Amino acid sequence: MPLKSDHMTERGPAYVWLARLRALVLAVLAIVFAAAGIGFLTFLSQLREVEARPDRKADGIVVLTGGSSRVSDGMELLASGYGKRLLISGVHPASAASDISRALSENQSFIRCCVDLDHFAQNTQGNAEQARLWARERGFRSVIVVTSNYHMPRAIVEFSHAMPDVVLIPYAVVGEKWRDEPWWASSTTMRLVLSEYLKYVAAEIRVRLAALGLDFGPEPSEPPASALSHRPATAQVN
């Protein structure tokens, strides 16, 4: 009996330390999972289920390419007088003018006079940077941001970081699939939402670190002279 007692006394501190470490790890994991769950619910609360026209007009309109009907909805806002000009950001370099012209033939006059194209942006961060340059060149102080509902939270994070002195007015485009059934009823839509949430969290972290002087993102660069054009075309995926 004394030998067993000595053995337990010798091993006791190690067991206590391991037990405390295990409890700490479990507590941290619980906090992480709880924070992720709350964050996801907060993200979902930002996703519009129906489209609603902006409650005010703006100087300009920026359409982020990559989703169905984003460009057509942006053109409708322009035609309705919600902005003076429209920027389509993320247009594929190989796209032809006829692509959008065929789809939006009723808006030919607006396309010729009031639409600018950005061929430079490759992602949402690039969209925000090119929109900043466009708004600065035009002297715009307010912009309507047009993108899909699931993409809007991340877009606003990027745009707010790139152009903090410009008023941003979101216009969320709601796709047919989103209107027809809940997002969790389709595995494809569920994967899309979860993927977008992870990108949103990554953007939030990067932007917050950048505010502290820790910017790990690529340095934005000025677009070449041909990056912005007045030719309509189809677009790249964000």
Which amino acid is residue 118, in one-letter code? Answer: D
CB atoms closer than 10 angstroms to residue 207: 17
More reliable by pLDDT, 104 or 53: 53
| Model confidence pLDDT, tens digit, residues 191-227 | 999 999 999 999 999 999 988 887 765 544 444 434 4
Q: Tokens 């900043």 identify what position? A: 132
CATH topology of domain 60-229: Rossmann fold (3.40.50)
Answer whether 147's CB lies under 8 Å from 158's CB: no
Nearest in space to 147 (alpha carbons), one of 172, 168, 169, 124: 172
For residue 236, the model assigns a pLDDT of: 46
Answer whether 60's CB lies under 8 Å from 145's CB: no
User: Domain coordinates of the chain in residue numbers?
Assistant: 1-45, 60-229
Q: What is the pTM (predicted TM-score) of this model? A: 0.79
Nearest in space to 156 (alpha carbons), one of 133, 182, 184, 125: 125
Distances (CA, A) of 173 to 67, 68, 121: 9, 8, 20
| Model confidence pLDDT, tens digit, residues 159-192 | 999 999 999 999 999 988 787 788 888 888 899 9
In whole angstroms, give the CA distance from residue 36 to residue 38.
6
Share of the chain above pLDDT 90, in %: 44
Per-residue pLDDT band for 10 (boundaries 50, 70, 90) equals low
Q: What is the mean pLDDT of residues 147-156?
A: 96
